[in-house]
Structure 1
Amino acid sequence: MRILVTGANGFVGQNLIVELKNQNEHEIYAFDIDTPKELLSEYCRKAEFVFHLAGVNRPKNNTEFMAGNYGFTSELLNLLKQANNTCPVMLSSSIQAELANPYGESKRAGEEALSAYQKETGAEVYIYRFSNLYGKWSRPNYNTVVATFCYKIARNEEIIVNDPSSMIDLCYIDDVVKELLNCLQGNPSIKEGYGFVNEIDRISVGELRDLISSFKQSRQSLTLPQLDRRIEKNLYSTYLSFLPEDQFSYPLKMNVDQRGSFTEFLRTSDRGQVSINISKPGITKGNHWHHTKNEKFLVVNGTGVIRFRKIDTDEVIEYFVSGDKLEVVDIPVGYTHNIENLGNSDMVTVMWVNESFDPKRPDTYYVEV
């Protein structure tokens, strides 16, 4: 399908276009403020669907609202009429179209122009009133408070919140793109005459600030967000997209001695802890057991043996492991266990335990295998 996307370099436009390209079945006409104006007439002749995403959010002068949100919409629709092209048109509007402010009034004027166009031409039109969109490629101090918070927190800049209890509705860009693709396929979500995105999350500004701040702190605490919570998962992905390019990495604390090292990698509140264990040749580590704590060992480099002995028996069980054949070994409770490096080079083991270490409740008892 031949698809015209206005506002192609904007937040929604970028995300939509890359997904349309992923489908590898569309010819995309990308139009933005720096595109030669004469191309718009050509695109309006050829287009089979129009995503009209162009608009003005934060101009230097309020008069630019009406010119950008109503004036350009009218120009686009006139070009479609001149080309006798009645293909479907989707308009990106805002919940502020209900409000009596310059931005809202300009958005409402654009909606009215599109509705009048539909009555005149019979073309299918879809008006989406979006609210507080967020995600990768959004602009701080322009698109949403999420972008501003992510950008500033990642750079240790001050965040000012006048009313932490104020509630806002957030809509993630991937959910927006999914809905726009549904619209393209003739299956839009419509309620009371307006298109909408089903996935909306409500959060206070104070909670939003604290949550994004916790993502920055997680590099020190090694904790992961609550990823089964949609808003937290999406906000975390968004925050990472705002990291300064020289700060993608961060160091871990390595506990090093003559035997090798042990380094904690990740912690979670309900999914345990992941660590990396490095053993020197000939070194044996472990010789302890647990009541409830259980582990999984995965040797990813080197060769070794994991030994078990049920604490009330004399029988020793051995599992030989190697990075050449990845194999997970479960460490059951009630068995004292150790791991020995049998090779000539360092042995690297990924270790998962079902609960993060608590020095007040270690549940670890030292007994030789």
Structure 2
Amino acid sequence: MNIVVTGAKGFIGKNLCVMLSEKGYDSVIQIDRDTPKADIEQALSSADFVFHLAGINRPKHESEFTTGNTNFTESVVNQLKANGRNTGIMLSSSIQASLDNAYGASKAQAEELVEAYGRDTGAGAFIYRFPNVFGKWCRPNYNSFVATFCHSIVNDIDINIHDPSAPVTLVYIDDVCQSLMGLLESQSESGLKQVPVEYNTTVGEVADLLAAFKASRDNLITEHVGSGLTRALYSTYLSYFEPFKFHYPLPKYGDERGVFCEMLKTKESGQFSFFTAHKGITRGGHYHHSKNEKFLVIKGEAVFKFEHIATGERYELTVNADEATVVETVPGWSHDITNIGDEELIVMLWANEIFDRDAPDTIAKPL
């Protein structure tokens, strides 16, 4: 397919062009505000589909709304009509198209032009009234409060919130692009379209989540970043890091035995850490009533010893790093681990709960 993307250097355009390439669409012509008119006409003359993302939303003069949104859309559909190829088109509109303001009016007029083109030619004509779109590469201090908040919080700049309870509807850039690319692969009916996944939240809730992401580098507690809005916001937040912020230090606690370091804590699924032990050193010598731990030797060789605190039953297990074996602690069994190799022992550790210094559930009982 020959695909044309107007506004290709904008936030949605950049993401869409990358994903089109990933999907194997290798004939994508990118149009931006610097593209000569003749080149635009040439691109449209051979287009099989047009993603019309270009538009004006922050003009110096109000008349630019008409020029950039209405008139440019008119020139695009007129060129497509003249080609006689019934080229499908998608228009990036706005939820403000239903409002009584200059920007909304210009978008509503652009919608009418695209709808008329679809009726007159029978070509697919799809309109998206996007709410607040967020994601990587969105310019801060422009037209996305999420981008502004992310940039500010990452860079220790105070944010101003007039009404934390103000409701907002958000759509994530990956979901937007997936929905748009779906137009190329299905026989979708013309008309108003909607990104399938929308997030209804508040300005304050977004700000609180972003603040929690920032705090996680100090308290090591991660939010539920694996799904939904939290996942999308976390990905967006990270995208505003400059490379020198790609790393951060962790506290390490060392003594004559080796070192212990906590890496990550979760709210409901425990925490991750690691420890080392010098040659011949034994660590542990305690039991838990409820806590579970999973050990993974990633360097060296160790012997794990267990003793049932009520029956005295004992068990030993030797593990080395080549085996990739997880060793679990079981409530009611005292346990320790000894480095029996010739090199430093390094062990990864997961515990099913965050360590609570006030109620540690760790009772000393050497074996």
**Match status 1:311 vs 2:277:** no
User: What residue number does 1:36 align with?
Assistant: 36
Q: 1:272 aligns with which of 266, 270, 274?
A: 270
Alpha-carbon RMSD: 1.6
Q: 2:243 aligns with which of 242, 245, 248?
A: 245
Name the CA distance, whole Å, in 2 between partners of 1:14 and 1:341. 53
Secondary structure in 2 aligned to 1:33?
Answer: coil
Q: Assess if the C-alpha contact under 8 Å between 1:129 and 1:195 holds in 2.
A: yes
Name the CA distance, whole Å, in 2 between partners of 1:165 and 1:282. 59
User: What residue number does 2:352 align with?
Assistant: 354
The one-letter code of the counterpart of 1:159 is I
The within-5 A match list for 1:146-225 is 146-188=146-188, 193-225=191-223
Bigger mean CA offset, 240-249 vs 113-122: 113-122
Name the CA distance, whole Å, in 1 between partners of 2:37 and 2:342. 68
Name the CA distance, whole Å, in 2 between partners of 1:60 and 1:46. 34
- Give a deviation string over 1:234-280, Cα, whole Å, max 9, x none: 10111001112211111100011111111111111101011111111
Secondary structure in 1 aligned to 2:245?
Answer: coil
The one-letter code of the counterpart of 2:62 is N
User: What residue number does 2:113 align with?
Assistant: 113
User: What residue number does 2:75 align with?
Assistant: 75
Q: Assess if the C-alpha contact under 8 Å between 1:189 and 1:195 holds in 2.
A: no
Name the CA distance, whole Å, in 2 between partners of 1:309 and 1:189. 69
Q: Identify if the C-alpha distance between structure 1 residues 188 and 330 changes in structure 2 by more than 3 Å, giving closer, same or farther.
A: farther
Q: Identify if the C-alpha distance between structure 1 residues 247 and 29 changes in structure 2 by more than 3 Å, giving closer, same or farther.
A: same
Q: Assess if the C-alpha contact under 8 Å between 1:48 and 1:87 holds in 2.
A: yes
- Give a deviation string over 1:64-104, Cα, whole Å, max 9, x none: 22211112111111221222231110111110111111211
Per the normalisation by structure 1, the TM-score is 0.95
Alignment gaps of 5+ in structure 1: none
Q: Assess if the C-alpha contact under 8 Å between 2:124 and 2:189 holds in 1.
A: no
Q: 2:290 aligns with which of 289, 292, 298?
A: 292
The one-letter code of the counterpart of 2:184 is L
**CA offset at residue 228 of structure 1?**
5.2
Q: Identify if the C-alpha distance between structure 1 residues 209 and 188 changes in structure 2 by more than 3 Å, giving closer, same or farther.
A: farther
User: What residue number does 1:84 align with?
Assistant: 84
Alignment gaps of 5+ in structure 2: none
Name the CA distance, whole Å, in 2 between partners of 1:117 and 1:102. 23
User: What residue number does 1:98 align with?
Assistant: 98
Q: Assess if the C-alpha contact under 8 Å between 1:189 and 1:197 holds in 2.
A: no
Q: Assess if the C-alpha contact under 8 Å between 1:180 and 1:188 holds in 2.
A: no
Q: Assess if the C-alpha contact under 8 Å between 2:7 and 2:32 holds in 1.
A: yes
User: What residue number does 1:133 align with?
Assistant: 133
Bigger mean CA offset, 32-41 vs 14-23: 32-41
Name the CA distance, whole Å, in 2 between partners of 1:203 and 1:347. 47
Q: Assess if the C-alpha contact under 8 Å between 1:302 and 1:322 holds in 2.
A: yes
State the aligned residue count: 367
Name the CA distance, whole Å, in 2 between partners of 1:100 and 1:144. 21
**Match status 1:363 vs 2:357:** no
- Give a deviation string over 1:321-360, Cα, whole Å, max 9, x none: 2222211111111111111112222211110000001112
Name the CA distance, whole Å, in 2 between partners of 1:189 and 1:285. 66
- Give a deviation string over 1:137-166, Cα, whole Å, max 9, x none: 111122411101000010011101111111
- Give a deviation string over 1:284-321, Cα, whole Å, max 9, x none: 10011001000100111122122111112344322222
Bigger mean CA offset, 174-183 vs 246-255: 174-183
Q: Identify if the C-alpha distance between structure 1 residues 280 and 35 changes in structure 2 by more than 3 Å, giving closer, same or farther.
A: farther
**CA offset at residue 34 of structure 1?**
2.5
Q: Percent identity?
A: 44
Name the CA distance, whole Å, in 2 between partners of 1:242 and 1:331. 41
The one-letter code of the counterpart of 2:23 is Q
